[in-house]
Structure 1
Amino acid sequence: MDMLIQLSPIILMFVIFYFLLIRPQQKRQKQVRQMQSDLKKGDSIVTIGGFHGSIHQIDENIVVIEAGDGTKLSFDRSAIREVKS
């Protein structure tokens, strides 16, 4: 019984960390994976590096992005940060 009372602050701290840090991070990662799997040709996107363009071609892991001047660059699908509406 005394051992449980001594460990209760550590257990409480872990529960608080889980709900304040771990769980929200997992939720964000799930949203990013969903967004990256829903990419389609013609979407306007922004990469992690800040490159703006639209998807010209998409494969399983590679995305070809076309810039405004017609330049085409290949990126990993995981480099896509957001889809602009």
Structure 2
Amino acid sequence: MHSTRFDLAVVLTEHARLRMAERNMNAALIMEIIDTGTLKDAGNGHYWLYKHLDARADNLLCVAAVIDNVVVVKTVMHHWEPRP
């Protein structure tokens, strides 16, 4: 997978893959969140990327990632709420 937003490869941890399956999220959806979602800096190269999708009742959908020379997706969440 490759992010057009960051022009970097995207790697999923095993934890992220398990959470994707539990939350009925596929790679295309993860890439949509990464490339078009809201980006929030969590500090030290860690980021929250999140997006509301009208077709889903479990919003907000969020990807927790480390961005350096690749985008490493640590986990994916639903019913997420950004903190101020």
Fold conserved between structures, TM > 0.5: no
Using CA pairs under 8 Å that are at least 6 residues apart, name the structure with larger relative contact order, 1 or 2.
Answer: 2
**More helix per residue:** 1
Higher strand share: 2
After TM superposition, the score normalised by the length of structure 1 is 0.30
Of structures 1 and 2, the larger Rg is shown by 1
